[in-house]
Amino acid sequence: MNKHSRRKLYWLNLFLFISIWASGQTVALKTNLLYDATSTINLGLEFGLSRKWTLDISGSLNPWKFKDDKKFCIWMAQPEARYWFCEKFNGHFIGFHAMGGQFNVGNVKLPFGILASVKDHRYEGWYAGGGLVYGYQWVVGRHWNFEAAIGVGYDYISNDKYKCGTCGSKTGGGHYNYFGVTKLAVAAVYLF
């Protein structure tokens, strides 16, 4: 069995274990509308662990390449344990999240002057970190909620730098420590 097959089998077993374990628990399916606005495919599952604790497992993928050598390809996984002050899926919560993923970004202009050099170069690498989250969920209907959350924390980022969006030789790279916003969510939530 090759490495890729073992990885698929691991994730399938993990998903089946969580599904069986969560049987009879409250489960929510969610999408982050901020990611949807950037054409980033994302999905989250949140499982009730007890009256005040849940486990949220979210992931996102943006595989798109754009014209004019623009590239904004990323994937991320972000598990999060949440404590609810009232009851799960209702009101204020705090959480602890981990995160990790890979990126291949180049020839794009990010808002507010963030990473200005991405306009003229391509960066390819990975990141891992975690942080603290505060959020709130509003009950909208029997099966629908609306959620807003913000998280701050740390990411370790490792990347290689290339001359242009789709071509060029490696011109540098490095390792970086990032402290700041690690999660921003405005989500539609469907409860089962």
| Half-sphere CA count of 38, side-chain side, radius 13 A | 18
> Cα 42 vs. chain centroid, distance in angstroms?
8
Cβ neighbours of residue 63 under 8 Å, at least 6 residues apart? Answer: 41, 73, 75
Write the Ramachandran bin of 180: left for phi over 0, alpha for psi from -120 to 50, otherwise beta.
left
pLDDT of residue 38: 86
d(CA 74, CA 116): 18
Reported pTM: 0.79
Is it true that domain 26-191 has CATH number 3.40.630? no
Dmax (CA) for the chain in angstroms is: 55
pLDDT along the chain (192 residues), means of 10: 69 64 71 92 95 96 82 93 95 97 85 70 92 97 95 95 74 90 96 92
